[in-house]
Structure 1
Amino acid sequence: MEEDYLYHLLEQMTIDEKIGQLLQLATPFFKGSSTKGQITGPMKEMGVTEEVVENAGSVLGASGAKEISNIQKKHLESNRLGIPLLMMSDIVHGFKTIFPIPLAIGCSWDLELARHAAEIAAKEAAVSGIHVTFAPMVDLVRDPRWGRVMESTGEDPYLNGLFAKAQVHGFQGNDLTDTKRVAACVKHFAAYGAVEGGRDYNTVDMSEWQLRESYLPAYKMALDAGCEMVMTAFTTMNGIPASGNRTLMRKILREEWGFDGVVISDWGALKELIPHGVAEDEKEAALKALQSGVDIEMMTLCYTSHLKELVATGEIEEQLIDESVMRILKLKNKLGLFENPLRGANETLEKDIVFSAPHREVARQLATKASVLLKNDDVLPLSQDQKVALIGPFADNHDVLGQWSWLGSKEDAVTLKEGLETQLKSENLNVAKGCDVESRDERESKIALQIAREADVIILALGEHSWMSGEAGSRTNIKLPKAQLNLLNDLKQLNKPIVVVLFNGRPLDLMDVTEKADAILEAWYPGSEAGNALADLLFGNVNPSGKLTMSFPRAVGQIPTYYNHYNTGRPKGAPDAQERYVSQYLDSSNGPLFPFGFGLSYTSFEYKDAHLSSNIMKQNETIRLSVKVENIGEVIGEEVVQFYIRDLTGEVIRPLKELKGFERITLQPGEQKEITFTITEKQLRYYHSDLSYKSDKGKFMAYVGSNSQDVLAVPFQLM
């Protein structure tokens, strides 16, 4: 459709029809839905009328080609100008084929596989009628008490940005008229991951320098990749909630970054300006949100009820509404909805594509790469002639999808028991729950102990209910529940090898577990193919290669603990440091239990001969960092070679390390490869106190290694 048509369409619209385009309502409000769009009591209390629904611009949470097609057809019959609806949903880590949670996908360090997973999710969503997904979520996370860390790819701004870019490309492709693609919506703008105390929806308070230094880069990389939409955060920034924050939405997003796509609020966020205390009522909330550049209001009626009045009184110019409407119409046009309102929705293809065997195979592959081997005292891999006791609340539990998998079927997910049954004869596998996630039954415990006594090795499947993480899943205690720790203690008394497999949505306090387990495999929530993927890893069909993208603390009292922190004036371990008067805990090490970038393999890799092509670097030149990596073990393995830089002296403080690059390599036993990273002046830039972004001449350290702690260091100087 030519853009001139859109302006002609805008000219024909009444003020009510324009405002309607700015409203997103949930599926049950619409005719053609399974609820037939009946305006019920609660809907009437909201102020929703048939006219409001007929003018609405987008739908939240619809699914299935039949239902979405019915909603669109019914809407076009009643909408005066025949403007199609946008269908939006949370397709976060899969549609029906569920991939590992995003934090786990980050631990794969596999950008191409992450892109491919997003492409599959888009394909399944599009054939089911969806146009927009509320993903990727790129909030930087440093506090595992916050449940939504499971939606992020971790604590590093650079790596988060790379995954954001990969996922945007996977969802959108190169052309949104491709009916196998969906538009992406990056969230939550901005810095939602920095909520105080790790408590969801809580206050965020930070300097603009820290915002730009750590939190904004990933959003910017998503937008540079062509992401079509932005969702506002529930939280505040500099005392102003994001949905009413002109600095965030107008100054940075629109003016500075040049973003001209659609901005949508999160669920009910406009009306939440009132309890936040920055709007007296819905009218003021509507005023502030539109002035700040929020185009679509999700599931409240501040715009619908008050924008017309605000225009009539001159408090808002109608031009502001027109700008938002045009952005929405342009997105609908990019998706080809004016020519083809039903777009990719196809009931026949839906049956063949959604949850298909090829898609499940990719989910299985990604789950193997996303799992992280945290400990292994020569217990893994297992052999098929061993007698295995599979015990724990997740031994045969379908709750392996994690939050934001709302169209995934737990019943169709492969449990750990089902996966192990493909590797072991029935006489070599005995299964008992032992305890529930949070409680313990003595009878179950006795059965578990009995089969453990008869086994050669115990696989203990522990973790959190999926509802313990995700949105509104904040916790002050991030240890495993006592029932599970008690079960571990009892099994330890048998002096049998114990392999702990963890199902969880956040880094946990594992101090108790590491002391008693002989091996620990962090599976996260692995998705639809959980059991098959984990069986592949446990029996060595696939060699673990995942690396953490979020540090594991030794205790909750350390939080936040993250690798790219700043030095202090009294750093522990400095040559002239006093024993007591340094930055330290009296009862714990400063460092994490497991650091960023950490992950074991069934083989070992040796790093040697790290060197630079030159120790002097000029502003307009590059230098190269090289290192030799050798597989000194007995099996083939994949390694993630990580490259970090430290600016030793800056105009403002600089992180002790910053990830600047990585490379996944596969090495046969005894094979050696030389890996080279290019260092550019651009990689040395940072935000100064005046918010200028530039590099400084001076001394730097380049690091290369298998994780953020185990590195080889080489100095260089920028002239």
Structure 2
Amino acid sequence: MTLEEKVDQLIQLAVPFFEGASDAGQITGPMASLGITEQTVHNAGSVLGMAGAQETINVQRAHLERNRLGIPLLMMADIVHGFKTIFPVPLAIGCSWDLELAERSAEIAAKEAAVSGVHVTFAPMVDLVRDPRWGRVMESTGEDPYLNAEFGRAFVRGFQGADLAGDPDRVAACVKHFAAYGAAEAGRDYNTVDLSERQLREFYLPAYKAALDEGCEMVMTSFNTVEGVPSTGNAKLMRNLLREEWGFDGVLISDWGAVKELIPHGVAADEAEAALKSLKAGVDIEMMTACYTHHLADLIGKGEVEEALLDEAVLRILQLKEKLGLFDNPYRAADPEREKEIVFSAEHREAARELARKSSVLLKNDGLLPLKPSQRIAVIGPFSRSGDLLGPWSWTGSSDAVVRLSEAIRGKLSDPASLTVADGCGIESVTEEQLAEAVEAARNADAIVLALGENSDMSGEAGCRADIRLPEAQLELIRRVRRLGKPFAAVLFNGRPLDLHGVFEEANAVLEAWFPGSEGGLAIADLLFGDVNPSGRLTMSFPFSVGQVPVYYNAFNTGRPQGAPDAQVRYVSQYLDIPNEPLLPFGFGLSYTAFEYGQAELSSDTMTPDRPLTVTVRVTNAGSTAGVETVQLYVRDLSGEVVRPVKELKDYRQVTLQPGESQVVRFEIREEQLRYYHSDLSHSSDAGTFHAFVGSNSRDNAVLPFRLAK
């Protein structure tokens, strides 16, 4: 390969740059200013946002006709929570606590994407999230490092399978965003992150490491700074930690435009310095800017960059193409006829429906739910007839194919004519005529379902909000309906935890549906009528007020905590106007049945590195409906070398119990689960006293003291 051919392998360009694409040549605005030559396009290494079997074949064929060495393109796309069959957003998937279904969702997404010509997906996103103002919380599975790591592993297994080279129905996964993007200050996208290295290693890095341990082929850099240096040019983070310490030898790709963004960040004077710093940091592929293409050859010629660094990057890209079998079959699994059979199949839609049912969380219920088919039901609200249930990062999905919630509910009623439907308001606007229509629709109903929430553009990338309450138009709709004195359930469609003031205290029942995906309308109707018992549990705390944010369960104590035996009334760590605690804690979720916990027991009050403890608790379904309970185990280290969280999730079990049925749930606590990063960054446990907590969420649980002896 010539020097120029090697450099051009490192550029990733959007679909319109390539001949054979349906929108080829339609490059406008900032994209047209990249200054890309026709020859660079012919030498380019990968395509961004490519999907569709025939189109990928057309682009690949046209490329191979023009590429001197016949090196195929990598087709990459954001297949985050489904391809055409859209599953719930990842934050919702996390709330299922179901790793098998999560893996299955990624497997289905991979199969649909692969047959449509995609080779690499930019997923999973495993950023730890604690601030619901940040729009991209919907793309993570929540605020807990252990659970994020487990879901990260599951998604990688689903996307890549056990034999990526031999299974063309899988795609390579790209874990993102490395690193700590979820800690962006003020919950604002692209913003600064400032963490100690100990905090970074303790809370934010484990999920990325878990995905890589599972064999994830690629890593994407984050937009934020780490220790004052933007990730894309951060040699300590990328070269020293990721490459050398962790041994990652796969492909590292920048996020969109992140190489050139080193300039406004203030760590590069120009494109040449941005290219130099990014390559030295270990970034192999530059997405949608041309700093490498314009400057690497010159930098190498001047001796400012070793050509060996370029060769390493090119080799990693070529090795991934070889692993995907592209040199033998550059079209891989792309097949227009098979695409018609596989994509959005009935089997895939049923899996999406099952996951949507398990991802929804019942937040409140005074007995209104489940609804009865014989009731007269009014469905009111901006989501009553909306197809906007897919959520962000569902660009290949179809909102037209979504069964509307009102129609799904109509299908449950003994008399379909007993359903009345009204919009009531828009997402952010309302008129008196709309409110009057809503009141009229509700007037003769036995029960009302208010379908409320955010539209897809209000969360996701660049969807950050300082006020995370429902828009005032929807709060006014709630007030008008409440005046009728009729019972109503609020169903929430959204991509983040909300401040539920104006909703939670008014509604008789609240069901958090998130953005539930292609089959979401049908799934929510299943839950509302009790065909399926809600089993979702929150993986991100719901704040009492945005003023608490960030608020999360595994926080540190202070020297002046509320509730301590010697605590003063005023001079403790507290707000004067709101509680310290969130409205709804991590792990919380209700059911249509009641689960009772017996006395939890430890096998011993002392453990050693060679002798773990067993925790047992009997759980009984004391209600009249079969249900799933998620039994959660937390641990607290009461005296560490550095401060330790008040609780940390260490394990959980999901048990399905029939009415009256009991089951003994067992956990094992091992010494390695008690390790943490000390002030010198060593990773070990300390002898001393611990508390184990067993219960239904991070707030409601039994305490079991024990000691670790060494």
Q: Which residue of 2 aligns with 1:137?
A: 125
Cα distance change, pair 663–190 in 1 and its aligned pair in 2 (3 A): same
Secondary structure of residue in 2 paired with 1:545: coil
- Within 5 Å, which residues of 2 pair with 1:482-497? 482-497=472-487
In the alignment, the residues of structure 2 paired with residue 421 and residue 76 of structure 1 have an alpha-carbon distance, to the nearest angstrom, of: 53
Task: Pick from 611, 624, 627 the counterpart of residue 634 of structure 1.
Answer: 624
Q: Is the 8 A contact 1:643 1:659 kept in 2?
A: yes
In the alignment, the residues of structure 1 paired with residue 557 and residue 65 of structure 2 have an alpha-carbon distance, to the nearest angstrom, of: 64
In the alignment, the residues of structure 1 paired with residue 57 and residue 601 of structure 2 have an alpha-carbon distance, to the nearest angstrom, of: 60
Q: CA deviation at 1:610?
A: 0.3
2:679 partner amino acid: S
Q: Which residue of 1 aligns with 2:388?
A: 399
Deviates further, 39-48 or 647-656: 39-48
Q: Which residue of 1 aligns with 2:425?
A: 435
In the alignment, the residues of structure 2 paired with residue 400 and residue 343 of structure 1 have an alpha-carbon distance, to the nearest angstrom, of: 32
Q: Which residue of 2 aligns with 1:260?
A: 249
In the alignment, the residues of structure 2 paired with residue 584 and residue 320 of structure 1 have an alpha-carbon distance, to the nearest angstrom, of: 52
- Within 5 Å, which residues of 2 pair with 1:7-406? 13-37=1-25, 45-177=33-165, 178-406=167-395
Q: CA deviation at 1:202?
A: 0.5
In the alignment, the residues of structure 2 paired with residue 45 and residue 169 of structure 1 have an alpha-carbon distance, to the nearest angstrom, of: 39
Task: Pick from 526, 542, 545 the counterpart of residue 552 of structure 1.
Answer: 542
Q: CA deviation at 1:512?
A: 1.8
Deviates further, 179-188 or 606-615: 606-615
Q: Is the 8 A contact 1:633 1:669 kept in 2?
A: yes
In the alignment, the residues of structure 1 paired with residue 395 and residue 537 of structure 2 have an alpha-carbon distance, to the nearest angstrom, of: 27
Secondary structure of residue in 2 paired with 1:512: coil
Q: Is the 8 A contact 2:122 2:176 kept in 1?
A: yes
1:684 partner amino acid: L
Task: Pick from 524, 548, 558 the counterpart of residue 514 of structure 2.
Answer: 524
Displacement over 6 Å in runs of 4+: 38-42
Q: Is the 8 A contact 1:72 1:341 kept in 2?
A: yes
Secondary structure of residue in 1 paired with 2:486: coil
Q: Is the 8 A contact 2:15 2:24 kept in 1?
A: no
Q: Deviations over 1:6-62 (max 9, x none)?
A: xxxxxxx00011011101000110111112447778655321111010010000001
In the alignment, the residues of structure 1 paired with residue 441 and residue 383 of structure 2 have an alpha-carbon distance, to the nearest angstrom, of: 16
In the alignment, the residues of structure 2 paired with residue 516 and residue 43 of structure 1 have an alpha-carbon distance, to the nearest angstrom, of: 49
Q: Is the 8 A contact 1:629 1:674 kept in 2?
A: yes
In the alignment, the residues of structure 1 paired with residue 110 and residue 27 of structure 2 have an alpha-carbon distance, to the nearest angstrom, of: 32
Q: Which residue of 2 aligns with 1:615?
A: 605
Q: CA deviation at 1:578?
A: 0.5
Q: Which residue of 2 aligns with 1:3?
A: none
Matched, 1:456 2:435: no
1:376 partner amino acid: N
Q: CA deviation at 1:445?
A: 1.1
Q: Percent identity?
A: 66
In the alignment, the residues of structure 2 paired with residue 42 and residue 599 of structure 1 have an alpha-carbon distance, to the nearest angstrom, of: 46
2:695 partner amino acid: G
Q: Deviations over 1:218-271 (max 9, x none)?
A: 000000000000000011011100000011101110111000000000000000
Secondary structure of residue in 2 paired with 1:169: helix
Q: Is the 8 A contact 1:65 1:347 kept in 2?
A: yes
What do you get for the CA RMSD once the two structures are aligned? 0.9
In the alignment, the residues of structure 2 paired with residue 38 and residue 523 of structure 1 have an alpha-carbon distance, to the nearest angstrom, of: 38
Q: CA deviation at 1:372?
A: 0.2
Secondary structure of residue in 2 paired with 1:307: helix
In the alignment, the residues of structure 1 paired with residue 409 and residue 504 of structure 2 have an alpha-carbon distance, to the nearest angstrom, of: 23
TM-score by length of 2: 0.99
Q: CA deviation at 1:434?
A: 0.6
In the alignment, the residues of structure 2 paired with residue 191 and residue 627 of structure 1 have an alpha-carbon distance, to the nearest angstrom, of: 36
In the alignment, the residues of structure 2 paired with residue 482 and residue 88 of structure 1 have an alpha-carbon distance, to the nearest angstrom, of: 40
Q: Which residue of 2 aligns with 1:689?
A: 679
Matched, 1:602 2:600: no
Q: Which runs of 5+ in 2 are unaligned?
A: none
Secondary structure of residue in 2 paired with 1:511: coil
Secondary structure of residue in 2 paired with 1:716: strand
Q: Is the 8 A contact 1:23 1:58 kept in 2?
A: yes
Cα distance change, pair 457–321 in 1 and its aligned pair in 2 (3 A): same
Secondary structure of residue in 2 paired with 1:455: coil
In the alignment, the residues of structure 2 paired with residue 339 and residue 396 of structure 1 have an alpha-carbon distance, to the nearest angstrom, of: 48
In the alignment, the residues of structure 2 paired with residue 375 and residue 641 of structure 1 have an alpha-carbon distance, to the nearest angstrom, of: 19
1:381 partner amino acid: P
In the alignment, the residues of structure 1 paired with residue 668 and residue 662 of structure 2 have an alpha-carbon distance, to the nearest angstrom, of: 20
Q: Is the 8 A contact 1:139 1:187 kept in 2?
A: yes
Q: Deviations over 1:57-84 (max 9, x none)?
A: 0000011000000111111111111011
Q: Is the 8 A contact 2:435 2:480 kept in 1?
A: no
Q: Which residue of 2 aligns with 1:499?
A: 489
Cα distance change, pair 510–43 in 1 and its aligned pair in 2 (3 A): closer
Q: Which runs of 5+ in 1 are unaligned?
A: 1-12
In the alignment, the residues of structure 2 paired with residue 577 and residue 44 of structure 1 have an alpha-carbon distance, to the nearest angstrom, of: 63
Q: Deviations over 1:354-407 (max 9, x none)?
A: 001100000000000000000000000000001001000001100110000010
In the alignment, the residues of structure 1 paired with residue 122 and residue 92 of structure 2 have an alpha-carbon distance, to the nearest angstrom, of: 18
